[in-house]
Structures are given as C-alpha cells and as structure tokens.
Amino acid sequence: METPAGARQVLAAIRDTGASHAERRRLTAIILNRASDAARQTLEAMMSTAEWKDDFIESYVQIGVEQGLEQGLERGLVQGLEQGLEQGAANAKAQDVLKVIDARRLAPISVAVTGRRS
C-alpha cells in the first residue's frame, strides 16, 4: 500500500466492492486508520487525484440526484393530490347546484347578446 501501485489496488478494490457510498467511506476510513503513515499518505494523495476523486465525488453526486428525484416526486404527488381534491370539490358543488335546479324544475336562464333575459 505504500507504493502508488499498491494504493491503486486498494482504492480499486474499495470501488469495485459495489458497496454503498456510506459503506465505502467506512471501509476507506478503516483502511486509512490501520495503514502505516507512509501508506496513509500515499492513499490520501492518490484519493485527491482526478482519477480517484471523480469516483468518490460521483457517488456524492449520485446520492444528491437520488435525493432530488425523491423530493421532487414527493412534492409533485402532494401538489397533484391537492389540485385533484380542489377540482373534485368544485365539481361536486357544480353537480349539487345542477341537482337543485333539476329538482325544482328550473330552466336555465339564457341571456341574449343584448343582455336581456328571454
């Protein structure tokens, strides 16, 4: 692990586990904690390079995307439900008015273009 080749193998093994981001962070912390000072410095230096940094940052980005999609879906469902309830209430009121008109045998009033009732 003290050589770049060894550090590369360790980092590749961590990445290739298929573990979640949290599990990889935990595994990385354990390895860094158990490594010698020289190995830890080599690993940390390697992790800050674009090759490995992108891999670790990519997992953060993926988590953010998933959280954003989840929040957006939740908000969309809430808004859709609220709008559906409002429209349903308005339709129910309109139906109630039509029932009253029908029950009282009232004819709708038609207003001509002139504004006079017929």
Q: What is the pLDDT of residue 36?
A: 92
**Is 22:64 a contact under the CB 8 Å cutoff?**
no
Task: Identify the DSSP state of 36.
Answer: -
- Percent of the chain surpassing pLDDT 90: 8
pLDDT digits 0-9 by tens, 24-76: 888 888 888 899 999 989 988 888 887 776 666 666 667 777 888 888 889 98
- Asked if residue 111 belongs to a domain, the reply is no
Residue 109 domain flag: no
Query: Which of the pair, 57 or 86, is modelled with greater confidence?
Result: 86
Task: Please give the residue range of the domain that contains residue 34.
Answer: 4-76
The total domain count for the chain is 1
Quick one: tokens of 41?
Answer: 């410095």
Q: Is the pLDDT of residue 108 over 80?
A: no
DSSP, collapsed to helix, strand or coil, labels residue 117 as strand
Confirm whether 112 is domain-assigned: no
Alpha-helix residue ranges (DSSP H) falling in 1-118: 4-15, 21-34, 37-47, 50-103
- What CA–CA distance (Å, rounded) separates 30 from 21? 14
Q: Is 95 inside any structural domain?
A: no
pLDDT interval class at 113 (50, 70, 90): low
